[in-house]
Amino acid sequence: MKIIMLGAPGAGKGTQAKKIAAKYDIPHISTGDIFRANIKNGTELGNKAKTYMDQGLLVPDELVVDLVVDRVQQDDCKNGYVLDGFPRTIPQAEALDKALAALGDKVDYAIDVNVPDENIVNRMGGRRACVGCGATYHLVYAPTKTEGICDVCGKELILRDDDKPETVQKRLNVYHEQTQPLIDYYTKAGILKTVDGTVDINDVFAAIVEILGA
């Protein structure tokens, strides 16, 4: 099962992608996590990506396409994967389709987690990320057991630089201009499925399971 998660920044793509990966036993591939790991390790890719990410802009297509095309051909992706945060532009979607077609393969589902802009600002302000393992929480909707401490690895939580209010609006604009056209793209491809992302995390997941099959 090859799945793409679509939706605005903060819509809950990562939250749902992790649950899908666990239930269906497929890897969760987040380009944002890959970039953040590269930034943490001080790699050349990380240094390049950081300048765009900090401004709320997309990293250029050429820095992300090959990385994903290589990743989905690794052994653990044989039974499928859930892509979170990729594609984010039409050229990225076309490049993915072309690379998969060359392998005799295709995406099965593009799941759009639909959340209006008004809710997004609230979501992003409350999102907290672990400095150690990158797990994400929400101060109100998905709190940790001990305040400020990651449930998974015990490290501290931070507000991501790009989740600061001044950057969130910019990211939303970028989403509407560059990423939202993918909804049309995957509708035309006949694989778009939309779920209401404003309801409780477990209810969003139940709607996704209904689509993918139990």
Do 110 and 4 touch, CB atoms closer than 8 A? yes
87 belongs to the binding site for ligand ADP (CB under 6 A): no
Among 52, 105, 141, 142, binds ligand AMP (CB under 6 A): 52
Question: Which residues face 136 on adjacent strands?
Answer: 129
Among 9, 56, 80, 87, binds ligand ADP (CB under 6 A): 9
169 is in an annotated binding site: no
| Residue (80 or 197) nearer to ligand ADP, CB | 197
The whole-angstrom separation of Cα 49 and Cα 86 is 15
SS3 102: helix
Which residue type occupies 42?
G
Helix 181-188 × helix 90-102 angle, to 10°:
30
Q: Which of 2, 13, 19, 123 is catalytic?
A: 13
In the complex, the smallest distance separating the C-beta of residue 117 from ligand ADP, rounded to whole angstroms, is: 13
Instruction: Choose one: 71-79, 81-89, 110-118, 148-156; the region binding ligand AMP (CB under 6 A).
Output: 81-89
On the question of a cis peptide bond just before residue 87, with omega within 30 degrees of 0, the verdict is yes
Q: Which of 19, 123, 127, 128 is catalytic?
A: 127
Write the interaction track for ligand ADP spanning residues 41-80; mark x where CB under 6 A is met and - where it is not.
Answer: ----------------------------------------
171 is in an annotated binding site: yes
Write the interaction track for ligand ADP spanning residues 132-171; mark x where CB under 6 A is met and - where it is not.
Answer: ----xxx--xx-----------------------------
Helix 90-102 × helix 61-71 angle, to 10°:
30
Q: Which residues of 57-71 are buried (b: 16+ CB within 10 A; e: fewer)?
A: ebbebeebbebbbeb
The whole-angstrom separation of Cα 209 and Cα 203 is 10
Cβ neighbourhood burial of 47 (10 Å; 0-12, 13-18, 19+): exposed
13 a catalytic residue: yes
The whole-angstrom separation of Cα 103 and Cα 125 is 41
92 is in an annotated binding site: yes
Which chain residues interact with ligand ADP by CB under 6 A?
7, 9-15, 123, 126-127, 136-138, 141-142, 197, 200-201, 204
Which chain residues interact with ligand AMP by CB under 6 A?
9, 31-32, 35, 52-53, 57-59, 64, 85-86, 88, 92, 162, 171
